[in-house]
Amino acid sequence: MVMERTLVILKPCTVQRGLIGEVISRFERKGLQLVAMKMIQLTDEVLNEHYAHLSDRPFFNRIKLSMMSSPVVVCCWQGLDCVQVVRAMTGATNGRNAQPGTIRGDYSISTQENIVHTSDSVETAKIELERFFDEIDFFDYPQTLDAYIYASDEK
């Protein structure tokens, strides 16, 4: 199997509420590997590109204003079926509809202030990761506990 990579953005609400460590630890405890991370301030230009698929929606400006209200933390996580695993852990977009036990189900009660953005496919993840990271930002290192995370025939 091939290790996938996916983007997770810890939104301004996560930064402001002091939940960065809580969210990161959930992915770590699952067994995913953090291979890139940085704090950045999003700009109008980047958000116009990132959320271009929503540009005709009435809430587009609200999303941009929210995402620029504070720095965010962008992360790249790696693992088997990582995109799908992260999406399942994250839960429904609307925090009020997200199941307890998911990140949004445990920490959000909003559609917008819903803790994280995650890539929705392997293809989207590749595009989004290139938007936020340079090749030098990624670290390829052995995860010493892999033998206890994956079966020997899974990697």
In a 13 Å sphere around the CA of 11, the CA atoms on its Cβ side amount to 22
Catalytic center residues: 117
Give the whole-angstrom CA distance, residue 87 versus residue 98. 11
Q: Tokens 């999406």 belong to which residue?
A: 87
**Nearest Cα residue to 49 out of 120, 130, 121:** 130
Name the strand (E) or helix (H) holding 10: strand 3-10
Tally of CB atoms within 10 A around 93 = 15
Q: How far apart are CA 112 and CA 52, in angstroms?
A: 16
What does the chain come to in residues? 155
